[in-house]
A and B are shown apart, each in its own frame.
Chain A
Amino acid sequence: MAFARVRLIYDRGTLILDEVPAEVRPLEWPGIAWDFRSSNYRSPAFRHRDLLRHADVCGVRLSDESRPAGRHPDAWIAPDLRPYQEAALSAWEMAGQRGLIVLPTGSGKTRTAIAAMAKLGLTTLCLVPTRALLHQWHDEIQKYYRGAIGRLGDGQFDPQPITVSTFESAYRHIDRLGNLFDLLIIDEVHHFGSGIRDEVLEMSLADARLGLTATPPANIGVLDQMIGEEVFRLTVQDLTGKFLAHFDTVTLRLDLTLDERRRYQTLISQFREVFQPFRLRNPDARWEDFVRFASKSSKGRQALKAHRSARELSSWTEAKRAAVSDILLRHRGARILVFTADNATAYAIAKDHLIMPLTCDIGRSERQDVLPLFRDGSLRALVSARVLNEGIDVPDADLAIIVGGTLGEREHVQRIGRLLRPAPEKDRALIYELVTRETNETFQSQRRRAALHASTNPL
């Protein structure tokens, strides 16, 4: 058996063992299955490294033909790293070039990833969740890489040895692209691991994998197998002062007007009429279970609609309108980010106060025009619902107004992160949180604070 030779070929997200001699028994290898459709042995592509190791142990010589020849990245200029970024990179390398790095927003995760690319010099696919981040990563890599950088997503399909892709585009094309890259970098990696779109990780044969996040999920689940364990973590508290700005949070508890309160109560009563009996019958049920239950009846659907309306009502009230006006007036000299629960509120604020909105509806080129104007002070405020939540680089805001948000604690930590990027002249950042009293927002605010507290606790 010592001289048995087997070909290893990539086939649309899988690896095929070809020309297997009779004495080799691939079904005893990890992850291999017999494919009756094509009459050969097949394995998921992400098992590539395991297969090479196992073949070595069994004394089987694998002729690895899984990657196309002649794809090499161009030259890199290694970026300067801060000490903690160096430490993160070393930890990842020592873990066999696999694993998760957890760093707070604004601490330079992208730069750490670029350093990994430059150091390894491998063909790389960077996965990012949004189109806005696709272009931001492209521009950031361009500062350190001489060759062409490919983009997949936002209407582009141009795979290059160094390529940035949105999750969605990678999901659509991964069977064609899975063997083109040796290093996989996954930004905001907490989006994976739930079973949806995980094929992107499973159908790629990149052996080196780096996951980046500010908010790791409580249960890493399959990410451990697909990317690796958490290898490095720093929190906001670890970096505040030296690398991130200090911040103060001011929570303004605001009342509904009489009319708003009456409308809110009517909507909430309509919702509770369905929700409370359900809750009594199913004390352990999750919100998703209730939505499924309520969607089945017209009364349930009305209850859900009432809940949505109540939430909309409390997220943009007369008092919040006045408070936003007041804060904008009070801090005329500051660079301000306003976060809202939805796009409609963002446009309402934009119209009222003539502030530039930054939403998913505003095109990429306009967003690219706007961000430098905010950086150089030509625009003093931006209002956004979700676009700014994850990773968009806004380096020098010093005040945030959180008007509303429904996505919970992870979103909040990301939002806080926007403010905490270091700027030479910045002393302390200030965060205003507007909470409507005696509504679901009170509970949400408590949860956000708890999440921020948890994220500032060191390991």
Chain B
Amino acid sequence: MPVPIPFDTCGQEIIPCFFSEADHPFLRSLLECFSHMVGEAERTLEEALVNLEDERITNPRKRLWAREHLWRTWPRAIPEAPRRIRRAVFLAAAARDTDRPTILEKCGAKLKLSASQVEQALFADVPGERRLGKYSPPSLNELCLRLNLSIVQALLAGAGRVRLRLDGQARPVVRHARLRGLMCTVEKQDGKTVIDISGPYSLFRRTLVYGRRLGDIVPLLAWCDRFWLDADCAVGRGQSPIGSAGSLRLRTGAPIMPSSQPKHFDSLLEERFAKDFCRATRDWSLVREPEPLPLGNALLFPDFVARDRHSDLECFIEIVGFWTPDYIERKLRQYRQVKVQNLILCVEELSNCSDVAMPPGVAVIPFRRRIKVAAVLTKLGELRGQGQSALSA
């Protein structure tokens, strides 16, 4: 039977029961209980856990959730012998018309074990009989964060779509969602990026087929400066898509386990360019992955923007590795659509299409292996001098 998710409801709102410092005493005793049972059978642990539960004040659903989480994640020592012993014993039992103790004794003699050892080892690998392995568990704080993340993900498993409002770091979220086969519609509202994430099939009916993938996005949110997550989740009745729904809200500061830090640079080339640029000039500031630009139902994520420290002038910089004329044309069309005036394209010379002429009116800086910052600064200087668009054409 699935363990009930620890949450409360307030009207239509779902409020996850997060683990906090107040639960540390319970979690500590739970971890101690598991640690003491290393080498013991699961059923012994189960008995010990029943006694443990009655003494603590943590909400019963949370207790159950934490217990289940540790039960699932704590490794087991894998015995090799039971399978061999089973085969020997059951074949012997089927072949001979002797009584049980004799069979066990004879098999034991063959396997160099006593009859009682044979009996004990017979099912040492099935649930209840398996032994707990050695494990260094996470700290209490980390355990709380992991448990909270698992609660949110379990709730989102019952969601058909998710709405996110993000302040900064939208790109990794959108990239991750797309990689997982989800669809994003993006718009700007009050300076915030609002992303609706759903799956293609969500158009036709309420479906939970994307729930797990939606849950995978949550750890990334911890890297956004601020975020607001809203989702309608099916709760109860086995999270059936036709079950009752409540709305889940998650905000910045929610105590959830973050993912590892999203990569700041797409490539070593970009990283090196950013470093060289900052060393070469103090007149311009370079921002990696600036705020995305609204492009119809989607967003355009520029690679860099260079901002003049002495005026309002700014210029977007795109670094293009392998490219085709179609790709360049599409990129330029997108920048024209969002009405960007100043754009510098750094394109790789070694690309197969390097002999194709670039569209006129675009500031292009070819590069091999390393982008020449001096050439970029010269173009920026020209822009500052002209005070006019490089994309006016």
Contacts and interface: CB of A to CB of B under 8 A. Distances in A.
A13 B201 contact: yes
Contacts of B89: 354
Interface string A345-357: 0010011111111
Contacts of B342: none
B347 interface: no
A12 B201 contact: yes
B203 A199 contact: no
A130 interface: no
Interface residues on B, range: 35 or more
B199 to A, nearest CB: 7
Contacts, number: 104
Contacts of B240: 195-196
A175 B201 contact: yes
B87 interface: yes
Interface of A is mostly: mixed
Nearest to A47: B204
Interface of B is mostly: mixed
Contacts of B238: 196
A380 B204 contact: no
Interface stretch (A98-106, A212-220, A359-367): A359-367
A259 interface: no
A175 B122 contact: no
Contacts of A354: 89-90, 92-93, 100, 103
Contact of A196 (B198, B201, B241): B241
Contacts of A344: 128
Contacts of B209: 13, 171, 174-175, 199, 203
A80 interface: no
A255 B199 CA distance: 56
Interface string A30-66: 0101011111001010000000000000000000000
Contacts of B128: 344
B281 interface: no
Contacts of A36: 185, 297
Nearest to A298: B60
Interface residues on A, range: 35 or more
B28 interface: no
A188 B107 CA distance: 41
B126 A347 contact: yes
Interface in B62-91: 83, 86-87, 89-91
B18 interface: no
A309 to B, nearest CB: 14
Contact of A347 (B95, B123, B297): B123
A11 B183 CA distance: 11
| B90, B241, B297 — most chain A CB neighbours (10 Å) | B90
A42 B203 contact: yes
Contacts of B87: 369
A175 B91 contact: no
A11 B200 contact: yes
Nearest to A202: B201
Contacts of B297: 36-39
Given A37-B185, A292-B237, A379 B94 contact: yes
Contact of A175 (B100, B181, B185): B181
A355 B86 CA distance: 9
A35 B203 contact: yes
Contacts of A292: 236-237
B199 A379 contact: no
A13 B242 CA distance: 20
B127 interface: yes
B181 A12 contact: yes
Contacts of A361: 125-127
Interface string B83-123: 10011011111110100100100000000000000010011
B276 to A, nearest CB: 39
B190 to A, nearest CB: 22
B207 interface: yes
B93 A378 contact: no
Contacts of A343: 126-127
Contacts of A381: 94
Contacts of A12: 181, 199-201
Interface string B160-189: 000000000000000000000101110000
B119 A351 contact: yes
Contacts of B196: 37
Contacts of B103: 354
Contact of A362 (B92, B126, B207, B296): B126
A11 B178 CA distance: 13
B201 A33 contact: no
Contacts of B90: 354-356, 379
Interface string A193-229: 0011001001100000000000000000000000000
A357 B238 CA distance: 30
Contacts of A352: 100
B55 to A, nearest CB: 17
Contacts of B92: 354
Contact of B86 (A202, A295, A356, A359): A356
Contacts of B198: 37
Interface string A222-254: 000000000000000000000000000000000
Interface of A: 11-14, 31, 33, 35-39, 42, 44, 171-172, 174-176, 195-196, 199, 202-203, 288, 292, 295, 332, 343-344, 347, 350-357, 359, 361-363, 366, 369, 373, 378-381
7 contacts: A13-B199, A13-B209, A172-B212, A288-B237, A292-B237, A363-B83, A379-B94
Given A203-B201, A343-B127, A347-B126, 12 more contacts: A33-B203, A36-B185, A37-B184, A42-B200, A199-B209, A288-B237, A343-B126, A353-B93, A354-B90, A356-B90, A361-B125, A373-B91
